[in-house]
């Protein structure tokens, strides 16, 4: 069993930066792939980024590539999402998720979810 808690979301102006954290409980966290997803009002949940269990492979949505960076510290049971050059279109609730099945870029590939953290980017 893995429990996830996201923190770091807040209001920021366009062009600013935020770092989201996903803290996990459970001894097996380091064996899971972790993904970040986001959901804006009235839209479906969409993939943002993912990192494999050991951190050797990273995956990004085209919309955030070059602006967002995912990383993890398994010693601290934490995954991070560094978000730079934020745009109003990045406004959403951001969720972290842990899983070991496929697809990597789809919600069905993850069995554990956090409660989400709100990111609001104003123009």
Residue 72 has pLDDT above 80, yes or no: yes
| C-alpha–C-alpha distance, residues 78 and 108, integer Å | 21
Which of 101, 107, 116, 117 is closest to 33 using CA atoms?
A: 101
Cβ neighbourhood burial of 71 (10 Å; 0-12, 13-18, 19+): middle
The pLDDT value recorded for residue 97 is 98
| C-alpha–C-alpha distance, residues 46 and 84, integer Å | 18
Residue 9 has pLDDT above 80, yes or no: yes
β pairing state of 112-113 and 92-99: antiparallel
| C-alpha–C-alpha distance, residues 66 and 32, integer Å | 24
Structure confidence by residue, pLDDT tens digits, 30-60? 999 999 999 999 999 999 999 999 999 999 9
Residue 27 has pLDDT above 80, yes or no: no
- Write phi, then psi, for 118 (nearest 5 degrees): -85, 130
pLDDT above 70 as % of the chain: 100
Which of 56, 44, 46, 38 is closest to 105 using CA atoms?
A: 46
Cβ-contact 98, 112 below 8 angstroms: yes
């Amino acid at each position: 069993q893995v429990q996830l808690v996201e923190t770091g979301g807040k209001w920021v102006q366009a062009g600013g930066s935020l770092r989201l954290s996903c803290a996990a409980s459970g001894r097996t966290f380091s064996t899971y792939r972790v993904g970040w997803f986001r959901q804006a009002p009235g839209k479906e949940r969409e993939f943002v980024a993912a990192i494999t269990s050991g951190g050797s492979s990273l995956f990004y949505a085209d919309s955030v590539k070059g602006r967002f960076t995912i990383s993890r510290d398994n010693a601290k049971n934490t995954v991070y999402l560094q978000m730079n050059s934020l745009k109003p279109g990045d406004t959403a609730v951001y969720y972290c998720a842990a899983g070991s099945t496929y697809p990597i870029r789809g919600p069905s590939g993850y069995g554990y979810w956090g409660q989400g953290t709100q990111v609001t980017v104003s123009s």
